[in-house]
Amino acid sequence: MDFSSYYQSLSKMEFGMLALFIIYLVMDIYPPEIVASYIDTSLGMVGILLLTLYVFMNYNPVLGVVFLFVAYEIVRRSARVNNRVPMMMHTPSQAKKDAELAAMNPPLATSLEEEVVQQMAPVGKSSLISYTMSEYKPISTDIHNASAL
């Protein structure tokens, strides 16, 4: 892959924009609080997305990919300026969730059905099975060419 063809296809304005984007990504530059308050809204994020699509459609694809990273950093840094922290920091751990659910669902006392089963059919303590002899003999009827299971 020849990178010199990409550099030659960039105009002076695109090359300047690429340089500014790379400087923004490398340096720890945060947007002013007034601008960050607008970017940190849902309308501001849609605007950043539309601007990213515009750069992809009207400029060099390399510039569009770099601007995609710049757009992500702008949104991330704007959230940090507004002291908004990621949602993951407020999500409780699984052990805490399990403890809360256990407190909401206390163990139930044995139900009537469980008591009857414990009294009527205790395993290993019931009487032996007795067989009854009967004169009834079952007879199979014609199965009409069906297969036997």
Would 146 be classed as within a structural domain? no
H helices, E strands: number in the chain: 7, 0
Identity at 134, one-letter amino acid code: S
| pLDDT tens track, the chain, 149 positions | 566 666 677 788 888 888 888 999 999 888 888 888 888 888 999 999 999 999 989 888 888 899 999 999 999 888 887 776 655 566 788 898 899 988 898 887 888 888 888 777 756 666 667 777 888 877 777 777 777 66
Would 118 be classed as within a structural domain? no
Find the radius of gyration of the CA atoms of the chain: 37
Structure tokens at 114: 């469980």
User: Do 47 and 17 form a contact (C-beta atoms < 8 A)?
Assistant: no
3 state SS of 6:
helix
Would 57 be classed as within a structural domain? yes
Per the structure, how many domains does the chain have? 1
